[in-house]
Structure 1
Amino acid sequence: MKRWIRDGDIVVGRLDRQEAAVVRGLVSQIQDMLMARAEEAPQDELAELTGIRTGPSTAPDDPILGRLLPDFHRLDPDAPDPADVDSAAALRSLHEPELLEQKVSACDVVLSTCAPDGGEIRLKIAEAEAWLSSLNDVRLALGTALDVTEDMPDELPPEDPRSPHLGVYHWLTWVQDTLVEAMMA
């Protein structure tokens, strides 16, 4: 892939077949995880009557989903106040469905604008923002799975099983960075 460039109100990029397969595969995995989480939402009769959706009141057990869907209210880990716990549960229940919808929608944009065989990608600004959102989610998920830290070297020894995946993580970082630069141009 070459750098993204901006041409007026359009952002243009090009992925080869393998790059497109990586992006599509990772975005699809994130989308599947998010949709599975959305299906965990409780069925609430009042929500059905009022149209106000509710989601789970507890954080996901999966560390990757926990990273993608952080708490809306941080608790004191040493001494959580019961009122704060209730507040965090209520905020999650109210806001998580909308967040899930936005994230799944962003994944849809990437999957619809990135051809399976690669090629030129022409994005309107709103589509480029969806790409940024999805790329960020993929990087967060991959970084969590690889246990990426600020102290981690740019390259790992070849015998480290995370080594090839860290290369993908760095490539996605570059793709995201050049997309941001193109949008700011």
Structure 2
Amino acid sequence: MGDGGSRVSTFRRQGEHCVADLAADEVRVLRKVASEVVGLLTEGFDHDDPVVGRLFPDIYPKDPTDSAEFRRYTEGDLKTAKIDQAGAILAALPDTAAGEVRLDAEAAEAWLRALNDARLAMGVRLEVSGDTDLSTELDLAMREDPGSSRVFQLSVYAYLGYLQESLLEALLT
């Protein structure tokens, strides 16, 4: 990510805000990812989709009846919160191709949750788990087909993780 791949933006603390200067390709990627999460949670919402299962796991996996009852009372609010969090990313992105993002603590926390949801969704689709060595996976994908959508998606997944870590560090300083 960054200008021609030369840099990746980092959040920094500036007073009460977390600030990053995003390049045009970063803005495009974040806009697309956040929009896809909103789409998944609205018109694409399907309990049989493994991504939905990952974002809304069964609270009682050994008791489907209790899980369904719990979901009945909590899913609407949880889904609304996830949509709002992805919306926080969309609302904070610059209107122009590149620019500054300035987040107060509440917006930064919403971004962290939304970035996490996006990474969870991508991880399911890419079959990436906590045990996956991302750099090895990316190297393998590059050797197989450097122009593949998998290389791009793994790169976006890695970028979101980097941005999430950068934001968390800025928030905690």
> TM-score range, shorter-chain basis?
0.7 to 0.9
Unmatched segments (≥5 aa) in structure 1: 41-59, 76-83
- SS of 1:65's equivalent in the other structure is helix
Q: How does 1:1-185 map to 2 (within 5 A)?
A: 1-36=8-43, 60-75=47-62, 84-116=63-95, 117-149=97-129, 150-154=131-135, 155=138, 156-158=140-142, 159=144, 161=148, 162-185=150-173
The amino acid that maps onto 2:15 is: G
The amino acid that maps onto 2:36 is: Q
Instruction: Tell me the alpha carbon deviations over residues 76-125 of structure 1, each in whole angstroms, 9 at most, x when there is no partner.
Output: xxxxxxxx221111001110001001001111111011124220011111
CA distance in structure 2 between the partners assigned to 1:63 and 1:96 by the alignment: 16
CA distance in structure 2 between the partners assigned to 1:142 and 1:122 by the alignment: 25
Question: Which structure has the larger Rg?
Answer: 1
Query: Which 4+ runs in 1 deviate beyond 3 A?
Result: none
Q: Please tell me whether the aligned partners of residues 41 and 83 of structure 2 are also in contact (alpha carbons under 8 angstroms).
A: yes
The number of residues matched between the two structures is 157
Higher normalized helix content (fraction of residues)? 2
CA distance in structure 2 between the partners assigned to 1:170 and 1:100 by the alignment: 25
Q: Please tell me whether the aligned partners of residues 115 and 164 of structure 2 are also in contact (alpha carbons under 8 angstroms).
A: yes
Question: What is the Cα-based RMSD across aligned positions, in Å?
Answer: 1.7
